[in-house]
Amino acid sequence: MHAYLFIGQGVEKDQVSITGLAKKLHARVVEFPLLKIGDVRNLNDLIRLSFKEPTLIVCQNIHQAGEEALNAFLKNLEEPQENIYFALTAPSARKVLPTIVSRCQIIKVVNRQVSTFDGQEIEGFLKMSLGQKLSYIDKIKDRVKAIEFTENMVSFVHRSLHENRLKYSIGEGYIRPALKTLSRLKANGNVNLQLSNLVIQISNIEV
């Protein structure tokens, strides 16, 4: 099996299950946003490369992707590439296109503790000046809190895009550096350094 669909409320917050799958597959984890057809094209450019080591590509909240994007993405599930695996997340299989579901192994995630999502906090943070953002993240010393903060940023942007409250180009400008930061934090990158780099990368973007 090359594709897995994790379902359950708050499943996008549950890193334990995906980490466990990655260990089972002996694969490195790559987070990749998948909302629109442009994302699929970028993903295809990535997987055209020859991967020497197993790689698990994680696409969160697959139910929020447009139908055009999902239909284009389907080919990757129908014609799996060596060393490439996919982990998709959604609150329910019913929210995902049946053609996607039929090509995935369903993994139900239950009884996970999910941190409260505070969209207003993230929205307020994104409207801060560069100096205010740096002061804000300087208070985040704990790795778990840093990961939670970055995940909340990704969730807020995803939700804003889904509700058409944010232009796609702006959302992409937030999500890409946030996902890179998240990956580096989980790989034990320096908390303050990674958050500071994130702030600098998004400093010229306006909500």
Spans of all domains in the chain: 3-108, 119-202
What integer pLDDT is reported at residue 114 of this predicted model? Answer: 42
pLDDT at 45 over 80: yes
Name the average pLDDT for the chain: 86
Predicted model pTM: 0.54
- CA separation for the pair 4, 70 (Å, rounded): 15
- CA separation for the pair 78, 68 (Å, rounded): 16
Helix (H) or strand (E) holding 18: helix 15-25
pLDDT at 198 over 90: yes
Q: Return phi, psi of residue 83, to 5°.
A: 70, 5
Query: Average pLDDT, stretch 25-32?
Result: 91
Query: Average pLDDT, stretch 58-75?
Result: 91
Percent of the chain scoring above 70 in pLDDT:
91
What integer pLDDT is reported at residue 14 of this predicted model? Answer: 61
Task: Please report, as a single letter, which amino acid is at residue 37.
Answer: I
What integer pLDDT is reported at residue 161 of this predicted model? Answer: 83
Query: Average pLDDT, stretch 19-45?
Result: 91
pLDDT at 162 over 50: yes
Dig out the tokens for 61 from the structure.
């909240």
CA distance between the termini of the chain: 40
Contact 90, 11 (CB under 8 A): yes
Contact 81, 3 (CB under 8 A): no
List of residues 6+ apart from 15 with CB closer than 8 A? 147, 186
**Side-chain half-sphere CA neighbours of 49 within 13 A:** 9
Q: With bands split at pLDDT 50, 70 and 90, how would you rate the model's confidence at 12?
A: low
What integer pLDDT is reported at residue 3 of this predicted model? Answer: 92
What integer pLDDT is reported at residue 113 of this predicted model? Answer: 45
Question: For 86-110, b where at least 16 C-beta lie within 10 A, e where not — what string?
Answer: bbbbbbeeeebeeebbebbeebebe
Angle between helices 143-162 and 191-202 (to 10 degrees): 30
pLDDT by residue (tens digit) across 110-157? 654 444 445 778 888 988 999 999 999 999 988 888 988 898 888 888
Pick the CATH number of 3-108 from 1.10.3720.10, 3.40.50.920, 3.40.50.300, 3.40.367.20: 3.40.50.300
